[in-house]
Homo-oligomer: A and B are copies of this chain.
Amino acid sequence: MKIAIAQLNPTIGDICGNSNLILEAAKKAQIEGANLLLTPELSLLGYPPRDLLMNPIFIAIAAAQLLQLAQVLPPELAVIVGTAMPNADAVKLGEKLLFNSAVLLQNGAVQQVFHKRLLPTYDVFDEDRYFEPGQNSNYFTIGELKIGVTICEDLWNNEEFWGKRSYAGDPISDLTKLGVDLVVNLSASPYSVGKRGVRSAMLHHSVIRSGIPIVYANQVGGNDDIIFDGSSFAVNRQGNLIRVLASFETDFAVLEYDENKQDLIGGGNGEDLSSTTELSSATDLSSTTDLSFEPPFGDAEIWAALVLGVRDYVRKCGFSKVVLGLSGGIDSALVAAIASCAIGPENVLGVLMPSPYSSDHSVNDALELAKNLGIAIEMLPIGDLMKTYDRTLGDLFLNTPFGIAEENIQSRIRGNLLMAISNKFGHLLLSTGNKSEMSVGYCTLYGDMNGGLAVISDVPKTRVYSLCRWLNSAESVGAVSPCPPLEKEIIPVNIIDKAPSAELKPGQVDQDSLPAYDVLDDILQRSIEHHESVQQIIAAGHDEAVVKRVVKLVRQSEFKRRQAAPGLKISDRAFGTGWRMPIAKSSSFETHH
């Protein structure tokens, strides 16, 4: 039996368009002789549809489209489509109105419906807001073959692997008891650093435990702040990774289940699976038991994720060009490079807005960067505007010292100019703040925080440096296409080497106000991601006063983050959808002894 995986990139809410993606994949699957086609979780709606699910018209149209799709699909092919199905008993039983379902379509009609059993409510997930958990083990048969159906989180309650249980039930155990031959999974599993390795290691473990091979079909594409990496894969009965689909791009593959061997077998469908780039294309791993996709925590994977996130946000929001401010600093340099790769340098406009406090090298560095990337630039000096603000506020600010207010005015002048360009020419404005700055509030609300998408707001400053160094290295060649030229450094080395500075007053450098970034990032990671207490962080070797100050700054900056642009998520604890923190609060407990 042949099983096709359609690693699709749906647009949220585009029921008609997503339906067409499924139909195209089904035609391809038919041509390749597949018996079964898998699509990702909620493939008809796009994941996550969020409060669109509360709209009865949305649900009604999805239901109508599902039936229409069933009728145009190749009749013999079994196709599993993800959609939200109404819960008929909701009102009677006091349940949620919908199920997160996998629907088996064949011969022009809905054959079976399977409901997701484990509903995540952590991080960015709100599935209990919309869905009732399914109560039954899900499977269907093709010929003699008993195929278990799971949806995303259903696979993630592997108690032995995690060392703890996350849900009462374990669908894999239940399916094992039912004696299924194969488990398929429809996923929309967000990317985070190292996540691909975690998934394959977990499913390797599950297969070894259950003895049942697994085919895992994941969504790909950026949807607002969340990036789905795809990286669909299959694990045979021995726990070997026999097929990996592309990461960070759409893909399609056909696998074979050998009824005699009672296992998935590698390759064999005549497709060319050789890599075009190491990073991102389907790879035939049938001859190996290596479970890692690539070295974890790599700059290459973060780069690819951010490029996809920018590309899809621009495209799905209906833009074709972007604009950003080029300060001559490393953050805007990285964002410009990502944008150039994502949508082509010809669609990127960099704006230099030097002030009297800008150093000469800032302008030169920005110009050199623009030249390296091949992007257009505009130069709009802000000295006159600074003077006019000073004059306008002169009486009111009389006899007050230069301070945060004046520094922020500069940043907000730049933000205003960039938004004027965005409004005038219809370019999407990208903001360039990194996670370290966003954490401690070293950024200006309505100034440099302006933008429709915060490209690197989940990237710590130390990682910004490492990404830029990687980009300049030989390792990135191929991965950074289509950014010319690749023969020489992309990020001017002076941008990497100089002391970081906001240049909002003469001679200012970031480390006037902040600890060194390697120190800061370690404190932030301990506090934000690991929930370590002030005492624990000090015990790890950090200075007490510094730790207390950083933790306080993080708390005090909540009001800025609440109004930040959606930021591409690459960590397990990003600001944004999955960060739900009160603003008006006391956090005296933070420094409690």
Chain A interface residues toward B at CB < 8 A: 11-17, 46, 48-52, 54-58, 61, 91-95, 121-122, 126, 128-129, 157, 159, 164-169, 222-224, 312-313, 316-317, 378, 380-382, 384-385, 388-389, 391-393, 396-397, 400, 403-406, 408-409, 412-413, 415-417, 419-421, 423-424, 445-446, 450, 452, 531, 533, 559, 562-566, 579-590, 592
Contact = CB atoms under 8 A, between A and B. Distances in A.
Contacts of A49: 582
Given A403-B424, A416-B413, A580-B126, A588 B57 contact: no
A412 B416 contact: yes
Contacts of A121: 121, 126, 128-129
A320 B346 CA distance: 50
Number of copies: 2
A567 B263 CA distance: 56
Closest 5 CB pairs of A and B: A94-B165, A14-B586, A316-B584, A405-B423, A405-B424
Contacts of A129: 121-122, 126, 580
Nearest to A404: B423
Nearest to A535: B57
B446 A419 contact: yes
Nearest to A536: B57
Contacts of A404: 423
B380 A384 contact: no
25 contacts: A13-B586, A50-B580, A50-B582, A57-B531, A57-B589, A57-B592, A91-B165, A92-B165, A94-B164, A126-B126, A126-B129, A223-B582, A378-B396, A382-B392, A403-B423, A403-B424, A406-B420, A408-B423, A409-B416, A412-B415, A412-B416, A415-B446, A446-B450, A452-B559, A563-B564
Contact of A11 (B12, B384, B586): B586
Contacts of A223: 582, 584
B416 A389 contact: yes
B94 A585 contact: no
Nearest to A406: B420
A562 B564 CA distance: 8
A424 B446 contact: no
B388 A408 contact: no
A52 B582 contact: yes
A584 B224 contact: yes
A290 to B, nearest CB: 31
B384 A396 contact: no
B389 A420 contact: yes
A585 B384 contact: no
A208 B539 CA distance: 60
Given A61-B589, A313-B584, 8 more contacts: A46-B585, A56-B531, A224-B582, A380-B396, A384-B391, A405-B423, A406-B420, A566-B583
Contacts of A563: 563-565
Given A13-B589, A446-B450, A54 B531 contact: yes
A77 B255 CA distance: 70
B416 A420 contact: no
